[in-house]
Structure 1
Amino acid sequence: MKIARIGPAGREKPAIIDLEGQARDLSAVIEDWTAATLSAGLKRIGALDPRSLPVIEPPFRYGPPIANVGKMICIGLNYRAHAEEAGMALPPEPPFFLKATSAIIGPDDDVVLPRGAKKGDWEVELGVVIGRKASHVTEAEAMDHVAGYCIVNDVSERELQLERGTQWTKGKSCDTFGPTGPWIVTADDVGDPHDLRMTTAINGVTMQDARTDDMIFTIPQLIAEMSELFTLHPGDIISTGTPGGVGFGMTPPVYLKPGDEMHLRIEGLGEQRQRVVAHR
């Protein structure tokens, strides 16, 4: 099952994507896909025949697939190849940081570089969407708390992140730095989330091409570790780290500039396209 939100920014309507790839309007069934409605909404639509719902005719905009996200927790250096290109040792424990939820935008919305930005960068990541409250759960229990998966572009500004007090949240939380979607694919339709191909192309040139099996810390490990420290709530998103091939890891480094186009894909989860623009 694929769930989405469709429409202009701030006026999205809840939707489901049927087996033929058509978007179907869920407005008569639930008010919206939000952190508060996610669990109950998934149960309500489980018995629905999508063909009974109105088709949303294209063209249309995909918004973030869930509204009112409580928190987005990102994992640093969770791919072996990315740690190697960054010249950093493999971490003994998963490094967590928060991306401000105000950074979350639709999957194809413009990414705006902040004023004075010099080192914008891309990061394709597997997003894990929590479906059930998770507090002090074991690795064996962890996957029972996952609603589904989505694509996240953990856009970064490396100068803010690494040269201005090593504040990772600062360099990751600028407005528009969290394209998410186009939809959430429920866990039962994904198969093994640790064996998905993920790619990023910049201006048509492939920069990242890897599989999620290069993760250092698995999804159950991440959920168990986090839930020992803070409660995960429905709608929270864990962005599980990026593989090798980011701009700052290249020799010489390559950074985003206005006019660039990013194209991200994860096997079974769809794709994103963003245009990079300067702050006005």
Structure 2
Amino acid sequence: MSRPRFISYSINGRHFYGILDGEGVIDLSSRHGSRWPTLREVIADGALAELAESARDLSPDLSAAEITYEIPIPSPEKIICVGVNFPDRNEEYKDSQAAPPNPSLFIRFPRSFTGHNQPLIRPPESPQLDYEGEIVIVIGKAGRRIPEVQALDHIAALSLCNEGTIRDWVRHAKFNVTQGKNFDTTGSIGPWLIPFTDKDQIADIKLETRVNGEVRQQDRTSRMIFSFRKIINYISTFMTLVPGDVIVTGTPTGAGARFDPPIWLKPGDIVEVEAEGIGMLRNTIADEV
């Protein structure tokens, strides 16, 4: 397995982690759970490579069809999201045509996300559920005021995010978007973690979002306004980044809010977020029961 796919999952309410091997799952939590209760502890120990090596000669313990995917890092200390990080996306904000000097940031909480193949939940308060496909970086080494030249050394793994948003609720107050970004189970992270080993994994890769098979968003990481290095440098200026922190790095143009009229997600829709070398995150849409 050249690039192991580490997953967190549950079965009948019990939580596990392992490696996805084809259509099977190698259960590593039963073998290493006393040392590393979750993938967060594995990352804190810098042990993804060791964990992958331990699975080299193992056969799958169960079928992927038997599991429920969870977000890869359970209970991260921080989930930090970058807004307006692609040129065409910036131009959508007609009151601010020039690229901003620093990234816009906001916080999301773990309960606002679900895993791969799980439904995003449209709440009764609003029909304006929207999609935002993004690349996720997971911090592997703690740091404060991290220089850009060293920033990539602090990444442990990569994943994907559908940073689902309740659009009218991001306008409920004058200065913040927190409300519209944190409805329970409106976004997703996954399907897995891909270990980060080389800058070429993220230097110039295609990021694409599809709704019911139709391409809605597409761009390349080389066009990001703020590079992965800059994002890590900037965030670590005012807070200490720790292992397991999740940074969601920005979405291309083409969200449903930008259509005329807007096209909101509805029950039965299928949203896929895909990036070269990372994988494909898939979710359906359902109304809250």
Query: What TM-score results when the alignment is normalised by the length of structure 2?
Result: 0.89
CA distance in 1 between counterparts of 2:86 and 2:264 reads 20
- 3-state DSSP class of the match of 1:7? strand
Aligned to 2:42: 37
State the Cα deviation string for residues 190-236 of structure 1 (Å, max 9, x = none). Answer: 73313111111112211112211221000111111111100111111
Deviation at 1:163, TM superposition (A): 4.4
Letter of the 1:199 counterpart: E
Say if 1:140 and 1:235 are closer, same or farther in 2 by CA, change over 3 A.
same
Q: In 2, distance between residues paired with 1:125 and 1:187? A: 16
Is 1:63 aligned to residue 65 of structure 2? no
Conserved? CA contact 1:86–1:249, under 8 Å: no
Could you tell me how far apart the structure 2 residues matched to 1:9 and 1:182 are?
A: 19
Identity %: 30
Unaligned residue ranges in structure 1 (runs of 5+): none
- Which one-letter code corresponds to 1:206 in the other structure? V
* Structure 1 residue 21: Cα displacement: 6.4
Instruction: Name which of 115, 118, 125 aligns with 2:124.
Output: 115
RMSD: 2.0
Tell me if the contact between 1:119 and 1:158 (Cα under 8 Å) persists in the aligned partners. yes
CA deviations 1:142-175 (Å, max 9, x no partner) are 1111001100111001100124445312111111
* Superposition deviation, residue 54 in structure 1: 4.2
Shift of 1:53: 5.3
Q: Give the whole-Å Cα distance in 1 for the aligned partners of 2:120 and 2:216.
A: 18
CA distance in 2, matches of 1:113, 1:190: 37
* Conserved 8 A contact 2:134-2:161: yes
Could you say what secondary structure the match of 2:111 adopts?
helix
Q: Distance in 1 between matches of 2:146 and 2:24?
A: 37
| Aligned residue number for residue 256 of structure 2 | 247
Structure 1 residue 262 corresponds to structure 2 residue 271: yes
Matches within 5 A, 1:100-179: 100-179=109-188
2:6 matched residue in structure 1 = 3
> Would the alpha carbon gap of residues 65 and 259 (structure 1) be closer, same or farther in structure 2, given more than 3 Å must change?
same
Shift of 1:259: 2.3
Counterpart contact for 1:34–1:69, Cα < 8 Å:
no
CA contact (8 A) 1:118 1:159 kept: no
Task: Map 1:45-60 to 2 at 5 A.
Answer: 45-52=51-58, 54-59=60-65, 60=67
Q: Deviations over 1:121-160 (max 9, x none)?
A: 1000000000011211100111111001100111001100
Bigger fraction of residues in strand: 2
Verify the 8 A CA contact 1:108 1:179 in the aligned structure 2. no
TM-score normalized by the length of structure 1 = 0.92
Amino acid at match of 2:208: T
1:196-275 counterparts in 2 under 5 A?
196-275=205-284
Counterpart contact for 1:198–1:212, Cα < 8 Å: yes
- More deviation, 32-41/123-132: 32-41
2:87 is the alignment partner of 1:80: yes
Q: What residue is the counterpart of 1:15 in the other structure?
A: 18
2:225 counterpart SS class: coil
Runs of 4+ in 1 over 4 A off after TM superposition: none
Deviation of 1:74 (Å): 0.3
Structure 1 CA distance for aligned equivalents of residues 237 and 138 of structure 2: 18
Q: Secondary structure at the match of 1:217?
A: coil
Contact 1:122 1:155 survives alignment (8 Å): yes
